Structure 1
Amino acid sequence: MTAYTGGILTISDKGSRGEREDTSGPQLQEMLREQGYSLVAYAIVPDEITIIEETLRTWVDEKKIDLILSTGGTGVSPSDLTPEATRKVLDREIPGIGEAMRLASLQKTPNAILSRGIAGIRKESLIINLPGSKKAAQENLAAVLPALQHAIYKIKGGSKDCGS
């Protein structure tokens, strides 16, 4: 198993002001560490498109992080703009990741249909939007985690067949 790098970006107005403890970010860090990822970046930013976009660009273009997980801002509230910010930086979307996460969540709550998280590729990095709650973020990541190492391998030009 190749050791890939990971970054966790928590998107929360209250969290960025220190008014709310980030519980999903540390949970996601632990899940990635258990899978052998090296965590190289963690930040909490407000629900502002330009800040989210700038952070994602920096983490991909300068830090070259292999897997970036954002948590928060994927719902339908007026301030939930994470998918819009993410879409601005992607080269290509991977719809199946968001679909798989919503399908897994739908087994637990009908509110899963309100999640708008997307996933995609920028350069050689995979970016995935997860919900902001610790439980939902954990469940969503668990639904797609088994495929992520192979996805990153292929994004980086790996030539081994998917069925191998």
Structure 2
Amino acid sequence: MKGYILTVSDKGSRGERLDASGPALAEWLEERGVRVQKVEVVPDEEERIADRLRVWADTEDAEIILTTGGTGVSPRDVTPEATLQVVERVIPGFGELMRRKSLEKTPMATLSRALAGIRKGSLIINLPGSPGGAVENLEAVWEAVPHAVAKIRGDQSDCVPFRHPTG
């Protein structure tokens, strides 16, 4: 798989904070055989986020795009809105599962607005901004990711092999 990572951070984009989440996700993905093509940082600006997602999905044929940051409830947290601008279909189960897993560690998980969706042949997943939270949330949904990417890209095989009830 070809992976792209977008860190959404005002301070990170200005060089006032080191991006730890993007590199942590890149390392995690590469350990699983994903070829990380780009890791970029943009400010918490809806149009900048949406533009980067569009470019990666439309012209760079990204298979998986991860965003990290901007999924909370502060006024500058606009990653879900930017994602909704570009996705053609939302996959609610990803956000639901990530929140459920995060609730095992912190009640603040209820504040996450992270979501996932599809644009063209790309699976886009919003993750929290902390390195630990980003990796933990990706781990929570990872089992479904390769299958989702295959289906998004046109795999016509059955999800579960058919078994006749008598055999």
TM tier, smaller = over 0.9
The correspondence for 1:117, drawn from 111, 114, 137, is 114
The correspondence for 2:146, drawn from 149, 154, 158, is 149
The correspondence for 1:95, drawn from 92, 97, 101, is 92
Query: 1: CA distance between counterparts of 2:123 and 2:38?
Result: 14
Larger radius of gyration: 2
Tell me, yes or no, if structure 1 residue 128 matches structure 2 residue 125.
Answer: yes
Tell me, yes or no, if structure 1 residue 55 matches structure 2 residue 52.
Answer: yes
Query: 1: CA distance between counterparts of 2:73 and 2:105?
Result: 19
Query: 1: CA distance between counterparts of 2:22 and 2:160?
Result: 32
1:94, distance to aligned residue in structure 2 (A): 0.2
Please name the residue that 1:106 is paired with. Answer: 103
Query: What is the percentage of aligned positions where both structures have the same residue?
Result: 58
Query: 2: CA distance between counterparts of 1:103 and 1:59?
Result: 29
RMSD, aligned α-carbons: 0.7
**Secondary structure of 1:53 counterpart:** helix
Query: 2: CA distance between counterparts of 1:108 and 1:161?
Result: 35
Structure 2 residue runs of 5 or longer lacking an equivalent are 162-167
**Secondary structure of 1:101 counterpart:** helix
Query: 1: CA distance between counterparts of 2:10 and 2:56?
Result: 20
TM-score scaled by length of structure 2: 0.95
How many residues end up aligned between the 2 structures?
A: 161
Tell me, yes or no, if structure 1 residue 82 matches structure 2 residue 79.
Answer: yes
Query: 2: CA distance between counterparts of 1:28 and 1:163?
Result: 30
Tell me, yes or no, if structure 1 residue 67 matches structure 2 residue 60.
Answer: no
Query: 1: CA distance between counterparts of 2:31 and 2:92?
Result: 26
**Secondary structure of 1:64 counterpart:** coil
One-letter amino acid matched to 1:65? A
Please name the residue that 1:23 is paired with. Answer: 20
TM-score scaled by length of structure 1: 0.96
One-letter amino acid matched to 1:128? I
Indicate if the aligned counterparts of 2:23 and 2:39 stay in contact, CA closer than 8 A: no
1:162, distance to aligned residue in structure 2 (A): 1.5
Query: 2: CA distance between counterparts of 1:161 and 1:148?
Result: 16
1:42, distance to aligned residue in structure 2 (A): 1.3
